[in-house]
Amino acid sequence: MAAGEPILYSLYVYAPNKGAPIFFTIAFAISAIFHIWQCYRYKAFKLIGLHPVCAVLFTVGYALREYGALDNYLYSTTTKTPLIIFIVSQIFIYICPPLLELANYHVLARVFYYVPYCSPLPPGRVLAIFGGSMVAVELLNSLGVSFAANPASSPEQQTLGSHLTIAAVALQLAIILIFFILAGLFHRRLSKASIHAQPVKAMLTTLYTSMALIFARCVYRLVEHAGNTKVELTSLAALRSLSPLLRHEAFFYVFEASLMLLNSALWNVWHPGRFLPHDNLTYLARDGSGEVRREETPDGRTLAAKVGNVVTLGALFRRKELPEGFLELDRYSERGESRRGVLEGGA
């Protein structure tokens, strides 16, 4: 069958490729294993724990897509299994990119903690601001995918789902642009302060690359939903009028699957646990000669507040921080620990 030719009652619009999901299932599974091991090795679950979570979700999502590709992709009124598998697969695949974007803000915040005197805003507020934004993105994204991906939805629901997805992706793009502004300001301040620590340079370069991949993926999703996305399984003419990005599976694997796999592998290679301290108590000395460590203040939050902080992705119930602790590093320099080798040579 010609590429892009729709099939009646196909939940994917086309006959899905049987080999590609196997490749991406295995690839994401390998990446997930490495992420889990690296987080354990570097004690970095709090810093970058979203990456192993997303890699596992991607693995399950593409495994379910493979199940659908094995002649289980036609909508049926007698059994809901193909439809349920399809929707769950789509949600698992599409819910991860916003979480990976949030993971980048976790790393950016840790970099700000590492060089707080060059940070364009208090490091603790990074997750408070962007964690809340990503909660909104995930809510819009989840609702949009669940409505738009379900061919059994009414045309009105599919239209609503498409609009919600567009809103989520547009918000993602705006947040990414803000990221580049913040990172750029931080980079400029580093240059003015003549700070050239290898860990900071490595993490900023990795963050720029990761955000560029996510940005490209968001543009693809925005263009996809800007076209006709109303799926009518019983009308071949209606299916042929759909956006080419929906009718050609190759676009999905190039701009969705491949970009996210590259992003996952990127963080496997340049894992922040190799470059940054495992907590935010360690800072780079102002002269760049080594690291200093401040005293830890007690966490007075209740267990419920800590859980609430995790659930809201860091937006609410934040731990209170002493303002002077981030700026007056000289107070701790005599008690600090040096890692000159790490600062000069990276990992």
* DSSP secondary structure, 262-274, as one string: HHHHHHHHT-GGG
C-beta separation of 62 from 28 below 8 A: yes
Average pLDDT, the chain: 83
The domain total for the chain is 1
CA–CA separation, 263 and 244 (whole Å): 25
pLDDT tens-digit readout, 116-168: 989 898 887 887 788 778 778 878 877 887 777 666 667 777 778 878 888 88
C-beta separation of 113 from 47 below 8 A: no
206 domain residue, yes or no: yes
Structural tokens at position 155: 């045309």
The 10 Å Cβ neighbour count of residue 182 is 19
Could you give the 3-state DSSP secondary structure of residue 1? coil
**pLDDT at residue 39 in the model:** 95
Structural tokens at position 101: 């974007």
286 domain residue, yes or no: no
243 domain residue, yes or no: yes
**pLDDT at residue 35 in the model:** 97
Is the pLDDT at 341 greater than 60? The verdict is no
7 domain residue, yes or no: no
**pLDDT at residue 242 in the model:** 83
**Phi, psi angle pair for 293, to nearest 5°:** -130, 130
* Residue range 68-83: mean pLDDT, rounded: 87
Q: Where in the sequence is the domain holding 266, given as residue range(s)?
A: 20-277+302-345
295 domain residue, yes or no: no
- Assign 335 a pLDDT band (cuts: 50, 70, 90): very low
1 domain residue, yes or no: no
Is the pLDDT at 330 greater than 50? The verdict is no
CA–CA separation, 47 and 42 (whole Å): 10
* Residue range 33-37: mean pLDDT, rounded: 97
Q: Are strands 291-293 and 282-284 parallel, antiparallel or unpaired?
A: antiparallel
pLDDT tens-digit readout, 158-195: 778 878 888 888 888 999 999 999 999 999 999 898 88
12 domain residue, yes or no: no
246 CA to centre of own chain: 23
User: pTM for the whole thing?
Assistant: 0.83
297 domain residue, yes or no: no
Q: What is the CATH number of the domain that holds 115?
A: 1.20.1070
CB burial of residue 157 (10 Å; 0-12, 13-18, 19+)? middle
C-beta separation of 34 from 50 below 8 A: no
- Assign 85 a pLDDT band (cuts: 50, 70, 90): very high
